Chain A
Amino acid sequence: MSVSGTWYLTLAAALFSIGAIGLLIRRNILIMFMCIELMLNAVNLSFVTFSRTLNDIGGQSSVFFVLVVAAAEVVVGLGIIVMIFRRSATTNADDLHMLKG
């Protein structure tokens, strides 16, 4: 007898909320990026939980693809962060207002 899926889903919801709050209150771009990773992991956890409760392999396949997309996203995002830092020497998201006019 394993723990019911509801507990896993609750934990995933809490993890997603913590990631969302962190994304909103932190202004360091790198830490905001890590908070996005937290939210992605929360979604992965709920995918695996649904895969178990519905006895369906599709949830685990989805997690596989989310992992690949997350890796690609991190590569491109960190490249953009490095480029921003080279141009304006800051990692604070509030300082990046070049488009504001």
Chain B
Amino acid sequence: MINSLIFYPLLATSLVSISVFVVGAAIVLAGACGVVLAKNAVHSALFLVMTLFGIAVLFVSEQANFLAAVQIIVYAGAIVVLFLFVIMLLGVDNLELQPIESKPRKVLGAVLIGLVVLAEILLLSRNSWTSGAPSTSGVAFGPGPTINRLADSIFSSYLLAFEATSALLIIAVISAVVLVRRNNFDSTQEDDFENQMPKQILESDSLSSTTGTNANKETKGNLL
């Protein structure tokens, strides 16, 4: 630390951190615009990976090293892969090359709303609203790695919330299985279901009738 202060003047370290921030911000903003503007859903997912990597770079520059690693592992490694998996499962042909779907008037309104939100946030962040007392839930930076203090905080102050997240994860897994599961009490009906589904949609304007009959069948099957 002292060596670096001797060898590099303060301006140089500041320049390094400024350039890291500028590069990270450019990656983040370019990726975000790509997510919004890409026609193909797969391209959107890849731009999302780019944004997440930029966020991880910014986390490192703010000395949140553990969170940067978790950001890469959980977001880029698990969540985006899940997105790509679902895109491929649903069939890329059905998803790609949809135009920007809304009407121009709606797009203009949406952009206006977004700019108003941006202006409000910037207006609020100009004043010193961050007047909270420092280090109320523990010191972030000091001797030793930050991850130790993060673990202390999570496993002591926020232990109940941590237990609640474990319950949340179990509930999410079970609900995903229940949601996507097929009712295979009648295998022939299940096999027919996928083939006749597009016809049903073409024939009936409102889906309520078909879903109603399906629900009736399901209740009958359950009763049997």
Contacts and interface: CB of A to CB of B under 8 A. Distances in A.
Contacts of B115: 17
A75 B169 CA distance: 9
Interface in A63-101: 63-65, 67-76, 78-83, 85-89, 91-92, 94, 98
Interface residues of B, number: 98
Given A33-B83, A98-B206, A48 B118 contact: no
Contact of B176 (A24, A50, A76): A76
A89 B204 CA distance: 13
Given A26-B101, A72-B172, A50 B94 contact: no
A94 B90 CA distance: 18
A56 B125 CA distance: 19
Contact of A88 (B67, B135, B168, B207): B207
A65 B161 contact: yes
Interface residues of A, number: 77
B189 interface: no
B4 interface: no
A16 B173 CA distance: 28
A56 B179 contact: no
Contacts of A44: 55, 67, 71
Interface string B129-170: 010111111111100001001101110011001000100110
B100 A25 contact: yes
Interface of B: 10, 13-14, 17-18, 21, 25, 28-29, 32-33, 35-36, 38, 41, 44-45, 48, 51-52, 55, 58-59, 61-64, 66-67, 70-71, 74-75, 78-79, 82-83, 86-87, 89-90, 94-95, 98, 100-102, 106-107, 109-111, 113-115, 117-118, 121-122, 125, 130, 132-141, 146, 149-150, 152-154, 157-158, 161, 165, 168-169, 171-173, 175-176, 179-180, 194, 197-198, 201, 206-208, 211
Interface of A: 1-3, 5-11, 13-22, 24-28, 30-31, 33-35, 37-38, 41, 44-45, 48-61, 63-65, 67-76, 78-83, 85-89, 91-92, 94, 98
8 contacts: A13-B118, A14-B118, A25-B106, A31-B41, A34-B35, A35-B35, A51-B140, A60-B67
